[in-house]
Amino acid sequence: MIKEKHFISYRVNFYLRHYIRKILRFLLNIIYIKIRFNKRFHCKCIFEGYDIMILCDGSVFCVCGDFGMEKPLGNIYRNSITEIWKGTEFERLRAAFRKNKLPLDYCSHCIGAALIPKNAPLPQTADFPEVVHLETTVQCNLECSFCHRDVIESQRGSKILPPKIVFQLIDEIIAHRCSKFLLLVGYGEPFLDKNSYEYCKYLKQHFPEIIIGSSSNAIPFSHYENARKLVESGIDALVLSIDGVDDKTYLRYQVGGDLEKALQGMKNIIQARRETGSFAPNIIWQYLLFNWSDKQPMIDKAIALAKEYQVDILHFLPTFSPISGISWKYIFKPYWGMIYRFCGPEREYNPHNRALIVEMKQ
């Protein structure tokens, strides 16, 4: 259970962001688009298949950042991905964009939303999503402050997506062979679902061209056998969320975690990778910058640890959540976060192309 002292802060944070989105959407639809009279709204998610999100209760949304806040656009228990993608609800959103309107509050700051020349035609709808986000479980071994697990789990109804359904989804992805990425991410710890390793292995065996990524708090991999299974699964990239370099800083956000186990998990993956002779998965250590974790000595220590452990990338990422934890030191920088590349992966890693890239020598 989330500690009671976080409850009020969580609700304030949630509703503040909720109403900010509503206000932004109103201003963009009514005022901004009239000022930018030579531009029109476009969405890469619902037209070009830039993103689709499937939650562990089968609900489908148009963007990974929604996580169940807007109305579902379908459910994979009732329809296939293709049927939902070409169905009524997705078409309703596309119709709004054709009328130059943002249909959802989340559109006001979605990474998929864009402005294009007013006379430019909207792209044709892709046959199948290019990027599929899949939350196979909402279960988590942490109780991060400002992440209200009780509310999240009650919204889902189901805490885990049955293997039969997941394999059906994977078979559909294999059959179309259009998707470039499958990302096992959501509001849970993906590797508390013990089938995650098999999902990755099965997809890679039948569709080796696809890139599989996921995220984790690294604690499951403090057991070496899990780190070994991960490497042998064929997954391409793994983001490890470890938001501090000392217990006090780390536990202020990642409540219920264990910094020693998280760091050990990261080391175990790299050791298993070395022992199997594999270059995958690429290890990205994601360090969220809060106003309690953005001090230069902390950043310097994280850089030193990343170099010592031989991670591929260290990503310092500012965040607006919780609002009380915003790192004002970094939030107004001309770049959004910093990426330190130690053993750079073949594919460029720079989410949304907004971070400052720093090349490091091992």
Average pLDDT in the chain:
83
- Within 8 A by CB and 6+ apart from 54, the residues are 60, 76, 81, 132, 133, 134, 135, 161, 169
Select, from the ranges 30-39, 62-71, 118-127, 217-226, the one with the highest average predicted confidence (pLDDT): 217-226
Using pLDDT thresholds of 50, 70 and 90, give the confidence band for residue 222: very high
Using pLDDT thresholds of 50, 70 and 90, give the confidence band for residue 33: low
Q: For 237-247, what is each residue's pLDDT tens digit?
A: 999 999 999 99
Using pLDDT thresholds of 50, 70 and 90, give the confidence band for residue 212: very high
Q: What is the mean pLDDT of residues 162-173?
A: 95
Sign of the dihedral defined by the CA atoms of residues 331, 333, 334, 335, in that order: negative
Q: For 333-347, what is each residue's pLDDT tens digit?
A: 767 687 787 775 555
In this predicted structure, what is the pLDDT of residue 177? 86
What span, in angstroms and rounded, lies between the C-alpha atoms of 91 and 115?
A: 20
In this predicted structure, what is the pLDDT of residue 2? 43
In this predicted structure, what is the pLDDT of residue 115? 78
Using the predicted structure, report yes or no on whether residue 28 has a pLDDT greater than 80. no
Q: For 79-110, what is each residue's pLDDT tens digit?
A: 999 999 999 999 998 888 888 888 877 777 77
pLDDT higher for 362 or 274?
Answer: 274
In this predicted structure, what is the pLDDT of residue 274? 92
In this predicted structure, what is the pLDDT of residue 246? 92
In this predicted structure, what is the pLDDT of residue 9? 55
pLDDT higher for 235 or 15?
Answer: 235
Using pLDDT thresholds of 50, 70 and 90, give the confidence band for residue 68: very low
Model confidence, pTM? 0.85
Using pLDDT thresholds of 50, 70 and 90, give the confidence band for residue 54: very high
